Amino acid sequence: MRGFNLFKYPEELHKDGNLILNTYSLQRSGQHLVLDWIGRGLDGKSAHFNHCRFHRKGVSFSFVPVAGRVIIYNSGMREVDSGKQGKENVFGFSQEFSYRKEIYSMEDVDFNRLPYRTLNCIADKVVVILRDPCNWLASSMKHGRSTQEKLVKKKEILKKYLRKFYSRREDEKFIFIDYNKFVSSCEYRKDLFVKLSLDNFIEAEQAMNDIPEFGGGSSFSGINSTITQENVFERWLVYKNDKTFADILGDDELIFLAEKFFSVNYFDKIQR
């Protein structure tokens, strides 16, 4: 059983021999480029269940993509994209395909909550995709779909992701990705390729030439085509004198955690 049955049928998934990857990110973190890279790097057929959440149904939960979107990959190619569909159609759509590798991407969720902790016990690997706070927030504000209150809540989730990076044990299945390094360093991607146990690096790299179309548009293009320095590293410049921007980022713990994880930060250049 696949898709929204993950929480209910963990044993059946592993008996089927499926590879399961859970991914977490904040929206506007460039995660779709990373996810496309991962999907293309897997041999055989795989399925990406995009932007999944737990939904309560009475006393039980269902686990399903928010917009019902599922992408089927076949040895480096995006073979079928369901597009947006009703959540109730996900199971029927996924049953039309045979696949042994599954990617479940989550956005803006606290992976410390019990349902997600249970989900992570099932997964073979848990991937956390992080973008430096200044450029993440600038991209989110430009997108214009989150209030200041929501952005503050998302910032707190980002801090939880970073805390996990520093508290994790050596043998844990968590893999943390610095998006800035991902787009700027082929050597960094080669190292991730090994850590994620992917199958075909050349096919994975094809994702770097395309722009994945998810979530009402993206500010990211493949790095070998039209992506620019401004897209990734300089979004913060537009908001460096913005009070809301400075207020949200004026967080000593965030600054401490971010400066230890990311290779480049811009906190000292923001007008407070």
What the chain holds in terms of domains, given with CATH numbers, is: 3-265 (3.40.50)
Sign, CA dihedral 89-53-106-42, equals negative
Question: Along the 272 residues of the chain, how does pLDDT read in single tens digits?
Answer: 344 444 443 443 333 567 899 999 999 999 999 999 999 999 999 999 999 998 777 777 778 899 989 999 999 999 999 999 888 888 888 888 888 899 999 999 999 998 899 889 889 999 999 999 999 999 999 988 889 999 999 999 999 999 999 998 777 799 999 999 999 999 999 999 999 999 999 999 999 987 555 544 444 444 444 455 556 788 899 999 999 999 999 999 999 999 989 978 888 888 66
DSSP per position, 146-161: S-HHHHHHHHHHHHHH
Distance CA 108, CA 5 (A): 21
CA distances to 16, 34, 96, 127, 261 from 139, in Å: 40, 17, 37, 22, 20
Helix (H) or strand (E) holding 197: none
Give the pLDDT confidence score for residue 182 in this predicted structure: 95
Give the pLDDT confidence score for residue 122 in this predicted structure: 85
pTM for the whole thing? 0.88
Write the CB contacts of 70 (distance below 8 Å, at least 6 apart in sequence). Answer: 3, 47, 48, 49, 50, 81, 82, 90, 93, 94
